[in-house]
Structure formats: structure tokens, C-alpha cells
Amino acid sequence: MPEQLTQGRILRAVREIEMPALDIQVQPGERTLVNIPTILYTQPRAVTRTVDLLGHEITVEATATSFTWHHGDGSSQVTTRPGRPYPAKDVTHTYDATAESVRPRVDTTYTVRYRVDDGDWSDLGDTLTATGTPTALEVRQAAPVLTRR
């Protein structure tokens, strides 16, 4: 008796597909200042893969639907937007202490749909999360200095 193609088998096969881990982008760059909002963003892309399962072609589409921003100072936030570079301030974090190196990262949650042999699309009913790659960020204190003209 041939094995049956079930939702559970499809779910297991889809979980084996590696979702792309996204890089976090930080502005102003490798250094930021205490008490000043630091801009965070990433650049998601849609994922399309095809897997063979029990003689069927399963086409999988995954879309990034939420982003968990780990700031490297013990705090985090969840957004449904990937942020944008300056001048947009969609996703920001304000550090309240100096640090030689914090390691912020963004974890990306994907919503997945699939179809079997060019049939109708179905929702997987589960999400997949890819852990982002941390980047080094120095948090400095700035002090005003009076000068003569």
C-alpha cells in the first residue's frame, strides 16, 4: 500500500526547508549614542521552493510576516514591518547605557502556503522562524563641549 500524502507529512517536509535568516541593518552604523533613537531595519524577500514528496511536487511560498528585534541589551520588540532606512523611523531602539559591544539581531517569522502538483494553494497552518545573524554595535555616550569662536 503506497504511503499517503497528508498535511502532517507536508508540514514535516516544509520544516526541513531552511528559511533565510535576515541581516539586521543599523543606522547610524557600527556605533550609536545613548539616549538617541537607533534605526533598525532588514530586507526581507519572498521564498519559493519546490520539494518532492511521495511522488508529488510540493511548491512552497513563504512570506516574512513578523520581525522580533533583539537589541542586544536584554530588550526586544516585535513588529509586522521590516523597518526602513533613514529618514524613516519605523523601527527604532534607544539604548540607555554605554556598551563596548551589543549584538542586535532580527528573527524573522514566515507564514507559509503550499500547493500539490500545481493544485490550489493551501495555508500551512503553522509559521516558521529563522534566527538572524547578530551584528556588533558599540553604544557610546556623547558630551557637549563649549568652544570659543
* Tens-digit pLDDT profile for residues 34-61: 999 999 999 999 899 999 999 999 999 9
Q: Tell me which of 2 and 84 has the higher pLDDT.
A: 84
> Does the pLDDT value for residue 116 go beyond 60?
yes
Query: Would you state the pLDDT for residue 2?
Result: 60
134 contacts: CB under 8 Å, gap ≥ 6: 24, 70, 72, 103, 104, 105
Q: What's the pLDDT band for 132 if we cut at 50, 70, 90?
A: very high
- Output the nine-digit C-alpha cell for 20: 533565510
Residue 39 is predicted with a pLDDT of: 98
Q: What is the CA radius of gyration of the chain?
A: 21
What's the chain's length in residues?
149
User: What is the CATH class of 7-139?
Assistant: mainly beta
- Residue 9 region by backbone torsions, left for phi larger than 0, else alpha for psi between -120 and 50, else beta: alpha
pTM: 0.88
Answer whether residue 10 shows pLDDT above 70: yes
For residues 114 and 54, give the distance between their C-alpha atoms in angstroms, rounded to a whole number: 15
